[in-house]
Amino acid sequence: MSATGPARESFIGEPIVPKPGTFDTAAMATGGPGLPRVFTWRGVEYEVGVVLRTWRTREPGVGMDSDYLYVRKHWYKVRTKSGEVMTIYFDHKPLGGRGKHKQRWFLFSQERLD
């Protein structure tokens, strides 16, 4: 709790634009999406200072054994170098029509102090 009140998480649900060349190559070498260390949201550039938490959500694999679970999203709760706490995710199976660029990185939520 801070002097201004407890943190409140606000849903955002908007795409972010990762800065090329800032992806976590160590995670990519092990098959992960590689969290971008710098991204732009609503025209503002943010730099990840620290990763607070990571997790994955899964869904049943299509046409496979029912015990198989496919990783659908990789989630990251981060604190930016400017102090924002944000939850972002990488979607392995983004929505989008044929021939359209499919956005894969999204800002799910941001914590705000009341």
The per-residue pLDDT for 93 is 75
The per-residue pLDDT for 1 is 45
- Mean pLDDT in the chain? 84
Q: Where along the chain do its domains lie?
A: 7-113
Tokens of 2: 């801070």
The per-residue pLDDT for 78 is 97
Rounded mean pLDDT, 48-60: 90
Task: Decide which of 45 and 72 is more confident.
Answer: 45
* Cβ(44)–Cβ(14) below 8 Å: no
Which pLDDT tens digit goes with each residue over 69-103?
678 899 999 999 999 999 999 998 766 655 455 77
Residue 113: which pLDDT band, with cuts at 50, 70 and 90? low
